[in-house]
Amino acid sequence: MQISSRFTLSVHILLCIDLFSDTKKVTSDFLARSININPVVVRRLLGELKAAGLVLIARGTGGATLARSADEITLFDIYLASRCVGDDGLFHFHENPNKSCPVGRSIHSALGGELERIQRVMESELRAVTLEMIKNKIKI
């Protein structure tokens, strides 16, 4: 199981916006060239980032800017905005384990709490890292 690439694409988009919006219009076409994906995908992600309050988008070809400074945006904010994990969490159980098997009968109760704890730890780590911290690792 992997977290959807929507998360890393969203981080890429936000980094480009932060690094380039002072010197050029950061449009979906510009971002698509940087990421090497279709501009339609970028526009969809920008819409989600805007809805989450992370970017501002000028109508037409006005470009995008960050709605908050990079040191106020955490990876957790981006993780939530990019909807890369379903409502039921990061880990998913197989639906119908064999109830006549001791493992099948107990797997959900034995493993479920551990997986919830692991997800909470991961989310805590995402809260500790800002977009600014990632930006500082980019070589310009």
CATH of the domain at 89: 1.10.10.10
- Tell me: the pLDDT tens digits for 61-118? 678 999 999 999 999 999 999 987 777 777 878 888 899 999 999 999 999 999 999 9
- Banded pLDDT at 10 (limits 50, 70, 90): very high
Answer yes or no: is 1 within a domain: no
What is the tally of structural domains in the chain?
1
Domain that holds residue 23: 6-135
Cα–Cα distance list, 18 to 67, 112, 117, 140 (Å): 10, 39, 33, 13
* Burial class of 79 by CB neighbour count within 10 A (0 to 12, 13 to 18, 19+): buried
Bridge partner list, 55: 66
Domain assignment of residue 53, yes or no: yes
* Residue 73 domain-assigned (yes or no): yes
Q: Mean pLDDT in the chain? A: 91
Give the pTM: 0.87
Angle at which helix 39-51 crosses helix 28-35, to 10 degrees, equals 110
Question: Is 66 a member of any domain?
Answer: yes
The reply to whether 38 falls in a domain is yes
95 Cβ neighbours under 8 A, 6+ residues apart: none
Answer whether residue 105 is part of any domain. Answer: yes
Greatest CA span in the chain, whole angstroms? 65
> Quick check: is 140 in a domain?
no
Q: Which pLDDT value is given to residue 2?
A: 57
Residue 52: inside a domain: yes
